[in-house]
Structure 1
Amino acid sequence: MQLKAAIFILVGLTTASNGNVNNSSRFVATREWQEIAEGQSIPEGLHVRINLSTGKKEAKLLEKDTNNTQSSLSTVAGADLLDHGTQLPTSNIDKLKEALQNIPADKFELDEKELKKVKANYKTYDQIKQYLKEANLDVKSDGDILKKLIKRFEELHKSKDPTETKVREELDNLFEDLQYLVHQIDNAVEFINYKGIEKIIWPCLNQTESSLRIHGFKLFGTIAQNNPKAKIALFERNGGAILLTKISQTTKSDELSAGLYAFGSLVRKFPHALTELLTPQGYSLLFDVLGKNVGLRVKVKIVRLISDLVQDYEHALSSKEPDPIMKERYQSTNLKESLLKVDYCRRAAEFFHQNKAGLLQDESMSEEVISALRSISPNLCHEVWSGCALFRHTLLVLRNNLDTRLDERSGDSGGAVYLREIQHTIDQFVEELYGRERRKDEL
């Protein structure tokens, strides 16, 4: 049995020196602990301990209420008692062993009467489970809940009309629970192992009901986001190609927004997917969104996604401590070369100019677009945009519009600070593209 507390043993011990004792160096005791040198003799009646943090013996005078002709040996609390050379009389060791043997064992038995009293005061584990079940508080693991949700979706999908109000409400709650669970990496992998992709996501994406397709896209994106194992599993199931096809087939803003979220979650920080999916045809399907009659914020997502992919690429290649494997994989994508081949810089400039009116109405969206374009300008599009008069014109129009907005918000100090930050970003972008001498408004 291991002793964790300090052990105090009072023994009638007269410290005797062995053949190596140096009697010329006597120990002078005080009321404070002092270290006993090796072979140093000590007088009788001291309080002696072994300091287990240093392994040294220490001694001091006994307190008045315990001062007698005996000596006290102890260890510093928090460690096991070790032998550091102090010899105890055999009789005291025998007494200690006898005392330890008399400590009650871990096992004990109650007589039948006492056992009945204990059972009357406490419930068994099976009884507790039954009470929780009756109170609808049956304890389940996340895996159990995932299985239950998958099974319930299959029941609703086979026998119910998803457009009915009650069914739709139940499905909304079901997907809310799924979203919460699968954002955890382990749960997402379990969802895939339970064939959740085949049983829920693909059926949703093949539905004519828009709300189900949106649920399917969002669940796909949540599973893939920052989850390498899930990305691989989805990619192996042809998930990327399915997403691009579904994105190309819809003209609804909400569906496109959810689909782009799913696609971005899959391809970001997954260079193999970039190589396989962002071919000229893949880019064409994405760029077609810029020409669709959908909300401007959806189109901005395309610009943001391309900028994020380029920044991931640059980070993998030029970070201070790059991952050699990830660097090699990103290099093999030839991402920047591919974007130049599909004329992305010109397409982005056209989008920027053509949607000038919409950006003027929403400064937060203007900030998103300008920040995204500026982030990839130096390493990708600087040459194209610096020679484009319409690109510069659009930047200056947005900047001058912020002057008007500032006048309108003269009493809103917080809003004014935000607008000036956007102006400062535009000024920097103009200077980077066209130089300091051309920052003046020439409209």
Structure 2
Amino acid sequence: MRLMSCCGFGATFSSMLVFLLLINFCHIASILGQKSDSALTVVESTEGGGGDEEEEVTVDEEEEGDLDVVQPTEEWQTLKPGQAVPAGSHVRMNLQTGQREVRLGEEQLKYWTQEHREPEEIEASFSPEELKQAMKKIKEDLNAGSKDTEQKDSVASKFRPLEELKRDMAQLDLLVETDVQIMKRLLEQFNSSNSTTEQRLSILLELEYLVHQVDNAQTLCSMGGLQLMLQGLNSSDFRLQESSAFVLGSALSSNPVVQVKAVESGALQTLLTTLATAQQHRVKKKVLFAVASLLRHFPYAQRHFLSHGGLQVLSELFRADGGGILRTRIVTMLYDMISEKELISQAGLDLVLDASHEERVRQYSKVSLQGELLEKGWCGLVPQLLESTEHDFREKALRALLAMSPVCLDQYRSDSALLGSLLILRDQYQEMVQSEMILGEENSYFSEIVELIDALQVKMK
């Protein structure tokens, strides 16, 4: 009986032990069912505040869909009870708060670099609403384009077709006047008895503009324009004289064909007569311009100028001019004529010459200008221009005196007024040069005048 009691007690104890082991196994199984294949590691915390425990957690993909999975970021975030994390995430126990925290694992952080992140960000940069707005904008642009096309069509409809315009322009071309037609019309209007003096003056002004072109000047002469200008020089109206001389001088400038025709037409005699008889100062200026244009680079005309008393007319005009403007123009013209002949003589020393050079040398050899200057008293007239207060007038006088020095040197040396003027002028301009040098200016206009005075004084010694 005791034996049986003992045995019964042993059986009961064994049953209870088996029951407890079974409960413990179930509890462990439930825990393992929630977190499997997990490993817990303790690492040093890089953040302030005590040590934290960190573990790397993995979750089966089959169970992940039934769990509340937290998507970790680069920053630590707190885990709530029952929440799971993706495989490779880092989980730690914050010893200060007693809560579990999670963030991206090292491999995940390496993956989320800029080069991996940009494509996804670009793909996700357009929301559905933004795509709708973009499509709406495309439609608006298409509608605007169609409206622009319609507008262009409506504007184009207001204008005539290009081919029609070409046909009309071809017909209108008959009405477009060329320079020749314009000059012909102007000459007819000028010769008309119904034209007033004001209209003729306007016509001469238009002709002066046209004859600056070489071909127009030659055409005008062949159309009778040269005779018209010479008639204008003989007019009783000084305004017509002035304008006619202006047109003639412009037509003669650098135009050998017109120069030859003018000499053959007796223009030189008419100009000298007008220059000697004109009363108005403004007329004399324009006539002197025409004479200079006729004589420039034309030795044949220069020879006729000397033979027809041209220097005598100029000397009278020089003495009568009190302002110095006409004097300066006369001296400049004489200086140009002397320089031309010297340049031709110097060019004769070259080995290579054009075929017409010998003819030019022959023609210039017949122009005895400097001898005429000495004979007509110009060696004493030109120094009078130094009395002017204008620097430009003085400069031109000095250049002419140097050019005339081969024939006038003896008279220069005996002219006490000229010697005194040169000394005074040199001191005056030397002071101006020194003043300019103080201001930092070199090679000035005044220094050139000083050089001209020095060169003339050297020749006179």
Q: Is 2:193 the counterpart of 1:193? A: no
2:231 and 2:308 mapped to 1: Cα distance?
A: 29
Contact 2:221-2:258 within 8 A present in 1 as well:
yes
Q: Which residue pairs with 1:145 in the alignment?
A: 182
1:196 and 1:218 mapped to 2: Cα distance?
A: 13
Q: Is 2:403 the counterpart of 1:375? A: yes
Give the counterpart letter for 1:374 in structure 2: L
Q: Whose Rg is larger?
A: 2
Tell me by how many angstroms 1:300 deviates. Answer: 1.5
Q: Which residue pairs with 1:159 in the alignment?
A: 194
Contact 2:189-2:195 within 8 A present in 1 as well:
no
Greater RCO, 1 or 2 (C-alpha within 8 Å, sep 6+): 1
Q: Which residue pairs with 1:429 in the alignment?
A: 456
Contact 2:379-2:404 within 8 A present in 1 as well:
no
Greater helix share, structure number: 2
Contact 1:409-1:416 within 8 A present in 2 as well:
no
Q: Is 2:415 the counterpart of 1:394? A: no
2:440 and 2:270 mapped to 1: Cα distance?
A: 48
Write out per-residue CA displacement over residues 389-441 of structure 1, whole angstroms, 9 at most, x where no aligned residue.
Answer: 2212122222233356568879976699222332232222222322xxxxxxx
Counterpart selection for 1:250 from 265, 273, 278: 278
Q: Is 2:329 the counterpart of 1:301? A: yes
Contact 2:238-2:283 within 8 A present in 1 as well:
yes
Tell me by how many angstroms 1:150 deviates. Answer: 1.8
1:413 and 1:217 mapped to 2: Cα distance?
A: 46
Give the counterpart letter for 2:373 in structure 1: L
Q: Which residue pairs with 2:261 in the alignment?
A: 233
1:291 and 1:204 mapped to 2: Cα distance?
A: 27
**TM alignment of 1:167-316, pairs within 5 A:** 167=198, 173-199=202-228, 201-279=229-307, 281-316=309-344
Q: 1:412 to 1:207 in 2, by over 3 A?
A: farther
Contact 2:321-2:327 within 8 A present in 1 as well:
no
Q: 1:340 to 1:421 in 2, by over 3 A?
A: closer
Write out per-residue CA displacement over residues 61-112 of structure 1, whole angstroms, 9 at most, x where no aligned residue.
Answer: xxxxxxxxxxxxxxxxxxxxxxxxxxxxxxxxxxxxxxxxxxxxxxxxxxxx
Give the counterpart letter for 1:159 in structure 2: N
Contact 1:247-1:256 within 8 A present in 2 as well:
yes
Give the counterpart letter for 2:362 in structure 1: E
Contact 1:317-1:331 within 8 A present in 2 as well:
no
Which consecutive unaligned segments of at least 5 residues does structure 2 have? 1-159
1:414 and 1:342 mapped to 2: Cα distance?
A: 42
Which consecutive unaligned segments of at least 5 residues does structure 1 have? 1-118, 435-443
Residue correspondences, number: 296
Percentage of matched positions with identical amino acids:
21
**TM alignment of 1:13-52, pairs within 5 A:** none
Contact 1:240-1:263 within 8 A present in 2 as well:
yes
Write out per-residue CA displacement over residues 226-253 of structure 1, whole angstroms, 9 at most, x where no aligned residue.
Answer: 2111111111111001100000012432
**TM alignment of 1:38-77, pairs within 5 A:** none
Tell me by how many angstroms 1:316 deviates. Answer: 2.1
2:451 and 2:202 mapped to 1: Cα distance?
A: 44
Matched position secondary structure for 1:207: coil
Q: 1:174 to 1:399 in 2, by over 3 A?
A: farther
Contact 1:410-1:416 within 8 A present in 2 as well:
no
Give the counterpart letter for 2:237 in structure 1: E
Contact 1:221-1:262 within 8 A present in 2 as well:
yes
Q: TM-score, normalised by structure 2?
A: 0.58
Q: Which residue pairs with 1:362 in the alignment?
A: 390
Q: Is 2:168 the counterpart of 1:127? A: yes
Matched position secondary structure for 1:325: helix
Contact 2:386-2:397 within 8 A present in 1 as well:
no
Give the counterpart letter for 1:240 in structure 2: L
Contact 2:205-2:243 within 8 A present in 1 as well:
no
Q: Which residue pairs with 2:78 in the alignment?
A: none
Q: Which residue pairs with 2:363 in the alignment?
A: 329
1:183 and 1:213 mapped to 2: Cα distance?
A: 19
Counterpart selection for 2:444 from 404, 413, 417: 417
1:403 and 1:121 mapped to 2: Cα distance?
A: 71
Tell me by how many angstroms 1:160 deviates. Answer: 4.5
Tell me by how many angstroms 1:224 deviates. Answer: 1.4
Contact 1:218-1:261 within 8 A present in 2 as well:
yes
2:377 and 2:338 mapped to 1: Cα distance?
A: 15
Contact 1:251-1:292 within 8 A present in 2 as well:
no
Contact 1:224-1:231 within 8 A present in 2 as well:
yes
RMSD after superposition: 2.9
Tell me by how many angstroms 1:145 deviates. Answer: 1.7
2:442 and 2:286 mapped to 1: Cα distance?
A: 30
Write out per-residue CA displacement over residues 127-156 of structure 1, whole angstroms, 9 at most, x where no aligned residue.
Answer: 2145578xxxx432221121122223233x
Q: 1:416 to 1:151 in 2, by over 3 A?
A: same
Tell me by how many angstroms 1:309 deviates. Answer: 0.9
Q: Which residue pairs with 1:64 in the alignment?
A: none
Matched position secondary structure for 1:159: coil
Tell me by how many angstroms 1:209 deviates. Answer: 2.5
1:390 and 1:121 mapped to 2: Cα distance?
A: 78
Q: TM-score, normalised by structure 1?
A: 0.60
Tell me by how many angstroms 1:125 deviates. Answer: 5.3
Q: 1:262 to 1:414 in 2, by over 3 A?
A: farther
**TM alignment of 1:7-18, pairs within 5 A:** none
Give the counterpart letter for 1:386 in structure 2: R
